[in-house]
Each structure stands twice: as C-alpha cells, then as structure tokens.
A = this chain, B = another copy of it.
C-alpha cells in the first residue's frame, strides 16, 4: 500500500458535517418552497463557463478572485463567481424559447479566491430569485413580498425591509449636477451605516462641493415614518423628473405592500440604501434582523433595466433578490435558533436482541410507512451504548424491544429529552406506538 495522504480541505474551503448541513438544507428547502409559492421555477447552469463570459462582469475584485484555467480542449474557462452573470448568459441564450415573464430561482455554489482573513469562504452558496422581462411595478412588489414570506417562513418575526428607489438618488444627483459622479457617490453612501456621515462627507469631498455633499447627506439622513419621509422628499427633489418618478414609485410600492398585509414596522423607506452596484436602476431593498442588525442585510436586491446587454440586443428589464444563506445561518446560530442535531431521523430503534433482527427491520418499515423517519441501530450492542448514541445524535425518541417484548407484542416508548418511558402495545398497524410518539415528536 502506498503512503498515507493527509486528509485535509483546501484553505478557504470547508466541509459541512450533518450538524451544519441539516440547518442549511432546511433553509434551502424553505427558500425553494417560498419561491415556488410565487411561481418562480428552478434553473441550473454549469459551474464552469467560458472565461470571456465571466471576466469584466463583476468588479476588478471579482476578476482578480476568479478561479481560471485551461480545460482539456485548451479552452480558457472559469468557475462562476456569482449567479447573476450566468443568469444573464442563460437568458440571452434561451429567452426566445422560454418567453417572458420568466421567473426563476437558482440555488447553487459560487467560487471566489477571496482573502480568507476576513472570515470569508472561497466556496459559498447563493439563493437568487428574479423576474425577467417585465418593468411592472407588481414584480417589484412581489419581490418584497417574497422576502417578507421567506423571513417569516424561516421563523423570524422582527425584521426590517429597508426600501429605496435609485431614481430618488439619481434625481437628487441630477438636481445637483452630480450625475457623472453617480457611481462614486453611491459607493460612498453605501458605507454610511458602517462608517458614519463624517467619513462619507470626506469621501464625497473628492468629487463634490461642500454644499453638494451636504445635500446628499441631508437626503440620506432623512428619518421618520414612511409617510413623513415621502413628504420630506418632495421639496428636496421638486423639479427633478427622475426624482419625482422615484417618489411616485416609492409611494406606490409602500401603499401596495401595506395593502398586501406587510406589517408597517417591517417596512422602512430608507433613502440611504444605495446598493453600490451600477447595475440597479429602480427599487432597491435590504433586509435587517432587528435582533442582529450589525450582521448586515440578509436578503438584498432590486430592479435593473437591462440584464443581458453584454450578450444580446434585446433589452430585458428585471427585478430580483438574493438570500444571504451563510449570514442567516450565522445569525440563527448566534440567536440560538438552530437545533443541535446530527440526525435527520426522529426515532431510534436500538438493536439488542440479536435473534430478532428481521422483526426490528419489519417494525422500522411499518413506522416509515406511517411517515416516520426511523433509524435502526445496525449492531446488537449494550442498550446503554445505543442510548448514548441516540442522545448524542439528537433523536427524539427510542423504541425499546427485546425478545420478551416481541413475544408479548409490547414496546417501550422512551422520550429521550425527558427520559420518561411508557409501555404500549405493538401490533401490525403500529397505531399505539404512533399515538405514544405523537406528543414527543410535536415538541420539536
């Protein structure tokens, strides 16, 4: 046999054992269920793309971080660094067959050779949903409704969707004569919550007069309830067609979301939300957990005018958002919201009468037929050892039977959280066992 190889993962990459993967799968399932409830449909695209599809589509930083190499045919290829560029390529290629509106979600890994010192990983998952091919306000409204439903489905009640419209900012810049400096201003504004207004003012000084910078910061500092913000915006943007359209769209969005039943405290118009990317052209949204606002937005997105401009002539507007899976998982961990389990099964059947193996297997099959998730321990070992395993894994209940129990058609149902046991009859329909398990399983 050859020499042993040290088992290890690459720097910046990580394994997901069951304790980490079970909550990930739960979040992914929940996202899919909510996306599907609005008619978003799944797509997938290759991990590898022609390099020319990927380069120059993100920032200078993503270009630098791109995993790129030559494939077996000598082609220059790269691993996707996000799901938006592949979506644009996909839509340009297939939209004639697919038709519009095209509502898709894609939940898949992306790769970036990032500096791992910032606690970032080089492989991470994105969960995007988008509505392509319509400029309709109702698609904007639905995007925010999806975010609301998603956070609620994930068990959050207290969160704030901060909504803005890029036309409001563009209107102000138009009024101030700063349109050519828009990107610079938006990127500076994006840091406002993190670095404070003084630092942003210093950054703005490079491209704006003190009066211009003050006007930008005055707009971004607007606070109050949504009606009051809309009222305060009016005089600041009066005379700017862009700005007035932005206020109109924000007002409409606000009214529609309230009509759709979004609680007022979850929706905050926030003119400081810029979302640095040039990409966005209308509504933008970020979502903060009220208990942990400092971790940043857990679901962000917005409207864009022309998804496929790099690949096709047809103009395709769209709107969408992306769930920050890893950030949300970190938050749920910090808030103690993640169950500590290593198993997907609810019930363990310990194996301690060796000669009864096939009867244990039959019992497990019957319970699975009733919809239970049941693990049968594979080897006859001391019961104590098997119950230790059950506790370590996080099973909710154990069904304990030996040859005398099988003979007497009885079964001991043990609640592993409380230690309490109860003896019930075991017949072919497993009804008494199901009845005894029901209150135990209901607690999880």
Binding site for B on A (CB under 8 A): 1-2, 4-11, 13-18, 21-22, 24-25, 32, 35-50, 52-53, 56, 65, 67-73, 75, 77, 79, 89-90, 92-94, 97-99, 101, 103-104, 109, 111, 113, 122-123, 131, 134, 136-139, 141-142, 145, 149, 255-256, 259-261, 308-313, 342-345, 348, 351, 357-358, 360-362, 365, 368, 372-379, 389, 392
Q: What's the minimum C-beta distance from A43 to chain B, rounded to whole angstroms?
A: 5
Is the pair A312, B93 in contact by a Cβ cutoff of 8 Å? Answer: no
Cα(A40)–Cα(B378), bound, Å = 13
12 residue pairs bridging A and B, Cβ less than 8 Å apart = A2-B310, A7-B89, A8-B50, A8-B93, A11-B73, A15-B44, A15-B46, A39-B345, A48-B111, A69-B70, A256-B357, A261-B362
A38 surroundings in chain B (CB, below 8 A): 345, 368, 373-375
Copies of this chain per assembly = 2
Cα(A97)–Cα(B40), bound, Å = 40
Tell me whether chain A's interface is mostly helix, strand or loop, or mixed. Answer: mixed
**A43, A109, A312 — most chain B CB neighbours (10 Å):** A43
A379 surroundings in chain B (CB, below 8 A): 101, 134, 136, 138
Is the pair A49, B4 in contact by a Cβ cutoff of 8 Å? Answer: no
Is the pair B17, A374 in contact by a Cβ cutoff of 8 Å? Answer: no
Q: A93 contacts which of B7, B113, B372 (Cβ < 8 Å)?
A: B7
Is the pair A10, B71 in contact by a Cβ cutoff of 8 Å? Answer: yes
Known interface pairs A10-B71, A141-B361, A361-B256; A18-B46 also in contact (CB < 8 Å): no
Q: A41 contacts which of B49, B261, B344 (Cβ < 8 Å)?
A: B344
Q: A75 contacts which of B10, B361, B365 (Cβ < 8 Å)?
A: B10
Q: What's the minimum C-beta distance from A388 to chain B, rounded to whole angstroms?
A: 9
A1 surroundings in chain B (CB, below 8 A): 309
Is the pair B40, A344 in contact by a Cβ cutoff of 8 Å? Answer: yes
Is the pair A368, B111 in contact by a Cβ cutoff of 8 Å? Answer: no
A348 surroundings in chain B (CB, below 8 A): 39
Is the pair B46, A9 in contact by a Cβ cutoff of 8 Å? Answer: yes
Is the pair A377, B101 in contact by a Cβ cutoff of 8 Å? Answer: yes
Q: What's the minimum C-beta distance from A122 to chain B, rounded to whole angstroms?
A: 8
Q: Which residue of B lies closest to A135 (CB)?
A: B379
A90 surroundings in chain B (CB, below 8 A): 7, 15
Q: What's the minimum C-beta distance from A342 to chain B, rounded to whole angstroms?
A: 6
Q: What's the minimum C-beta distance from A436 to chain B, rounded to whole angstroms?
A: 20
Is the pair A368, B21 in contact by a Cβ cutoff of 8 Å? Answer: no
Is the pair B378, A101 in contact by a Cβ cutoff of 8 Å? Answer: yes
Q: Which 8 A-B pairs have the closest CB atoms?
A: A39-B375, A69-B69, A39-B345, A18-B41, A13-B46, A7-B92, A36-B344, A136-B378
